[in-house]
Amino acid sequence: MKKISLKKIFTFLLCLYSVSGWAQNWNKKQCAVVLTYDDALNTHLDQVVPALDSVGLKGTFYLIGSSPAFTKRLEEWRKVAANKHELANHSLFHPCDGSLPGRSFVTPDYNLATYSVRRMTDELRITNAILQAVDGKQERTFAYPCGDLKINGSFYLEPSKADFVAARGVQSEMVKQNNVDLYNMGSFMINGQSGDELIEMVKKAMATHSMIVFLFHGVGGEHSLNVSLAAHRKLLRYLKANENKIWNTTFIEAAKYLQANNAAKK
């Protein structure tokens, strides 16, 4: 009887693992990719949305309720939402904790260190109401401005958790399906990476069967945190070419999927 090498057995099991669907645990795909864009910039409407629409991909736009690129272009944002992109809450004025190192850009009026939890709660709910007036939706996700979670030691989202399906943080991590904190899911802040580097990040998510959340600001300019149009375009083309393996979805749909999966396991 001919002996079968351990290497061949391993290869066979690996193929079986992949084909059987054991590895396809993100809506029957190997991984999930969520594209998020912060701060309501003009380039998101002028460059990002057309790029996404050209390849049929979806994004999540974390909007600042007072941003002129939002308030002066409401009809355009309404069309973005109608095309199944997500409009999400990034607060009314984008307050950040000015007491932390490197926060010289924080103005006294919008210094989170001098906010009350009540003030932040009110501003988040006002922003939700503004967004509902644009897209008609009641379910919403949130992204912490500057990644700050607390006001004077208190987790400020606690009083308004019920107003949100989930929230995105800024810690760099691949999101796993088990033991995920829906109200502080990690993301990777993008600043200057090449298209190849962005693709390598997706490949890592595929290899580890994880969800990767990209955090973009400027795309082709308009922000100090920026990625080139060419790099962004190359990432989108890769996602489209591999959509049989990659689940591109919005942050809110990914959160609902995680919530449903975790509930089913209990």
Residue that the structure tokens 């009540």 belong to: 118
State the CB neighbour count (10 A cutoff) for residue 168: 27
pLDDT given at position 8: 57
Residue 3: band (very low, low, confident or very high) from pLDDT cuts 50, 70, 90: low
Task: Give the mean pLDDT of the chain.
Answer: 93
Q: Does residue 103 carry a pLDDT above 60?
A: yes
Q: Does residue 62 carry a pLDDT above 60?
A: yes
Residue bearing the bigger pLDDT, 213 or 265: 213
Distances (CA, A) of 141 to 17, 36, 128, 168, 219: 34, 11, 9, 8, 22
What one-character DSSP code corresponds to residue 216? Answer: E
Say which range, 54-58, 140-144, 194-198, 262-266, has the weakest mean pLDDT. 262-266
Q: Does residue 31 carry a pLDDT above 60?
A: yes
pLDDT given at position 91: 98
Residue 264: band (very low, low, confident or very high) from pLDDT cuts 50, 70, 90: low
Name the residue among 150, 147, 185, 173 with its Cα closest to residue 262: 185
Q: Cα 108 to the chain's mean position, in Å?
A: 28
Superfamily of domain 32-265: Glycoside hydrolase/deacetylase (3.20.20.370)
Name the residue among 214, 265, 220 with its Cα closest to residue 62: 214
Provide the token pair at 149. Answer: 């979670």
Percent of the chain with pLDDT over 90: 88
Each domain of the chain, given as residue ranges in start order, spans: 32-265
Say which range, 10-14, 78-82, 110-114, 195-199, has the weakest mean pLDDT. 10-14
Q: What is the DSSP string of 26-67?
A: BTTBSEEEEEEEES--HHIIIIIHHHHHHHT---EEEE-TT-
Mean of the pLDDT values across residues 34-39? 99
Alpha-helical regions (H) of the chain? 6-20, 42-43, 49-55, 68-71, 74-82, 117-135, 195-208, 229-241, 251-265
Q: Return d(Cα 46, Cα 86) in angstroms, integer.
A: 17
State the CB neighbour count (10 A cutoff) for residue 219: 23
CB of 33 closer than 8 Å to CB of 211: yes
Q: Return d(Cα 81, Cα 92) in angstroms, integer.
A: 19
Name the residue among 244, 178, 175, 181 with its Cα closest to residue 30: 244
Mean of the pLDDT values across residues 151-178? 97
Distances (CA, A) of 66 to 63, 77, 95, 144: 9, 14, 12, 16
Q: Does residue 18 carry a pLDDT above 70?
A: no
Q: Does residue 98 carry a pLDDT above 80?
A: yes
